[in-house]
């Protein structure tokens, strides 16, 4: 498919590494200018340089997506630089603990829910208000197969199930503004976030036993799916969950 995002402005959270970085680069390769958000300026600058080397514009903005004031500043900076936002990728997420559901505490609950669900919702709302002024846009929420079947990260799984429903709510209520909203659910992907899982030989074997395509994903697998969901080629798809897991959830 010849997919073009030429003339579009994409805002990607958690864009400094892993899946977010790959999505930002793939969108730039497809013609988009990109607003890059995460907490550490130096890491964002490196990705911004990679995007500029592709001939596209990049605006790095430091933001903690769990903080409302940072969300407001991020959207204001994007609007000031580009005047619009056509694509939002809610990719930043956290899981600070491997504790089981019997042990895990309130602090971990708050930290996970604050970023993975509350931040995702209120950034989407702020960006949807901008998209509404410009005839619409596309929102992609990065969830996880852990949001469909529970795994060893209990509150993370609950947060991602919430993301899946947030997608449906947004898709239903914001279609009237020309906004499409979909979920992209990665399976095990080679990033820092999940290295404790795929880097452990015993867990890696379990993953391989359960994955028909017999490999873990690369961040680029998610990036290509995200570009499809961001493009007009998926123009009649909204409220859906695209699972990219090599068949693991079959």
Is 225 a binding residue for ligand NAP by CB under 6 A? The answer is no
Give CA–CA dist 109/117, Å, rounded: 11
Give CA–CA dist 98/153, Å, rounded: 6
Is 192 a binding residue for ligand NAP by CB under 6 A? The answer is yes
Sheet of strand 137-142, all strands in order from the earlier edge strand to the far edge: 58-62, 33-38, 9-13, 87-90, 137-142, 179-186, 241-244
The count of residues interacting with ligand NAP (CB under 6 A) is 30
Q: Which is nearer to ligand NAP, 94 or 182 (CB)?
A: 94
Is 142 a binding residue for ligand NAP by CB under 6 A? The answer is yes
One of 38, 167, 182, 231 touching ligand NAP (CB under 6 A): 38
Is 182 a binding residue for ligand NAP by CB under 6 A? The answer is no
Is 94 a binding residue for ligand NAP by CB under 6 A? The answer is yes
Is 124 a binding residue for ligand NAP by CB under 6 A? The answer is no
Question: 82, 156, 174, 228: which one is catalytic?
Answer: 156
Q: Which is nearer to ligand NAP, 175 or 244 (CB)?
A: 244
Is 39 a binding residue for ligand NAP by CB under 6 A? The answer is yes
Give CA–CA dist 19/234, Å, rounded: 20
Is 117 a binding residue for ligand NAP by CB under 6 A? The answer is no
Q: Pick the piece of the chain touching ligand NAP (CB under 6 A) from 35-43, 76-84, 207-215, 230-238.
A: 35-43
**Shortest separation between residue 3's beta carbon and ligand NAP, angstroms:** 21
Is 183 a binding residue for ligand NAP by CB under 6 A? The answer is no
One of 9, 11, 12, 16 touching ligand NAP (CB under 6 A): 16
Q: What is the 3-state secondary structure (H, E, C) of 217-230?
A: ECHHHHHHHHHHHH
Q: Pick the piece of the chain touching ligand NAP (CB under 6 A) from 36-44, 102-110, 129-137, 165-173.
A: 36-44
Residue 156 annotated in active site: yes
Is 91 a binding residue for ligand NAP by CB under 6 A? The answer is yes
Catalytic residue numbers read 156
Contacts with ligand NAP, residue ranges (CB under 6 A): 13-20, 38-40, 43, 63-66, 91-94, 115, 142, 144, 186, 188-189, 191-194
């Amino acid at each position: 498919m010849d997919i073009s995002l030429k003339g579009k402005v994409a805002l990607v959270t958690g864009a400094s590494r892993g899946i977010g970085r790959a999505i930002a680069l793939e969108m730039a390769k497809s013609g988009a200018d990109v607003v890059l958000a995460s907490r550490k300026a130096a890491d964002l600058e490196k990705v911004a340089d990679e995007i500029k080397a592709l001939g596209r514009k990049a605006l790095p903005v430091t933001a903690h997506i769990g903080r409302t004031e940072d969300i407001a500043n991020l959207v204001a900076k994007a609007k000031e630089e580009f005047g619009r936002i056509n694509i939002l990728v809610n990719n930043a997420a956290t899981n600070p603990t491997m504790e089981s559901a019997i042990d895990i505490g309130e602090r971990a609950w708050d930290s996970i829910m604050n970023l993975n669900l509350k931040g995702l919702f209120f950034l989407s709302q702020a960006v949807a208000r901008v998209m509404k002024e410009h005839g619409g846009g596309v929102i992609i929420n990065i969830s996880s197969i852990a949001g469909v079947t529970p795994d060893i990260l209990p509150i993370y799984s609950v947060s991602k199930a919430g993301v899946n429903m947030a997608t449906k709510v947004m898709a239903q209520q914001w279609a009237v503004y020309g906004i499409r909203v979909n979920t992209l659910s990665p399976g095990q992907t080679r990033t820092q976030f999940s290295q404790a899982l795929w880097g452990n030989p015993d867990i890696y074997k379990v993953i391989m036993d359960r994955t028909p395509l017999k490999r873990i994903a690369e961040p680029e697998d998610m990036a290509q799916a995200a570009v499809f969901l961001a493009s007009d080629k998926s123009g009649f798809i909204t409220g859906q969950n695209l699972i990219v897991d090599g068949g693991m959830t079959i």
